[in-house]
């Protein structure tokens, strides 16, 4: 079975998405969004969190009362021990258009420099106090933060429908 990290990276790099039916974890997430009266962007939410999986899932939601029904921030922590991922998306509805800004945070056992050099799809854009910023041809932004001998990888992409 592929790790959650590998699945999320596949989605970010290729835009691949192919789930035939709604997983229990995805349904739980959609139900949590519905409890907040935010169902207008379900299609974008399904694409954004299509591969929420693992043994456990935790969903946190946040919104501003004045924009209730038009925007919602969702944080999902899911996976299993040793293969955990934090995903966050902010959904907004503007007229008939739904947008999502999606961030995925994973930890890699390699240093940030090693990760970057071993993954040539990333083009380094900046080094700010040791924090590396890169982008791929698909428009995915990557921020790499060194922590001890490891690297915290933060991927970010936006989509609209």
Is-contact 136 121, C-beta < 8 A? yes
Backbone angles phi, psi at 22, to 5 degrees: -80, 125
Question: Strand, coil or helix: what is 73?
Answer: strand
pLDDT mean across residues, the chain: 83
Task: Among 7-11, 47-51, 107-111, 133-137, name the most confident range.
Answer: 133-137
**Percent helix, strand, coil in the chain (nearest 5)?**
25, 45, 30
Decide if pLDDT at 155 tops 90.
yes
The pLDDT of residue 41 is: 86
Q: What is the pLDDT of residues 54-90, one digit of tens each?
A: 667 788 888 888 877 788 899 988 877 767 789 999 9
Angle at 60 between CA 54 and CA 66, to 5 degrees: 150
Confidence band, pLDDT 50/70/90 cuts, at residue 14? very low
- pTM of the prediction? 0.78
The closest alpha carbon to 132, from 119, 116, 120, 148, belongs to 116
Decide if pLDDT at 51 tops 80.
no
Is-contact 150 107, C-beta < 8 A? yes
Distance CA 30, CA 95 (A): 21
Confidence band, pLDDT 50/70/90 cuts, at residue 112? very high
Percentage of the chain lying above the pLDDT 70 cut:
84
Question: Strand, coil or helix: what is 76?
Answer: strand
């Amino acid at each position: 079975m592929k790790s959650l990290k590998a699945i999320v990276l596949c989605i970010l790099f290729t835009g691949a998405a192919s789930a035939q039916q709604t997983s229990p974890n995805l349904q739980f997430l959609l139900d949590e969004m519905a409890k907040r009266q935010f169902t207008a962007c379900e299609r974008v939410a399904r694409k954004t969190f299509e591969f929420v999986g693992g043994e456990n899932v935790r969903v946190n939601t946040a919104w501003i009362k004045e924009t209730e029904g038009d925007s919602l921030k969702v944080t999902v922590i899911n996976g299993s021990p040793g293969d955990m991922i934090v995903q966050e998306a902010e959904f907004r509805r503007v007229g008939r258009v739904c947008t999502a800004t999606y961030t995925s945070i994973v930890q890699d056992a390699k240093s940030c420099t090693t990760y970057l050099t071993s993954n040539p799809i990333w083009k380094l854009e900046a080094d700010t106090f040791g924090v590396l910023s890169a982008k791929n041809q698909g428009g995915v932004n990557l921020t790499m933060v060194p922590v001890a001998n490891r690297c915290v990888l933060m991927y970010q992409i936006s989509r609209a429908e």
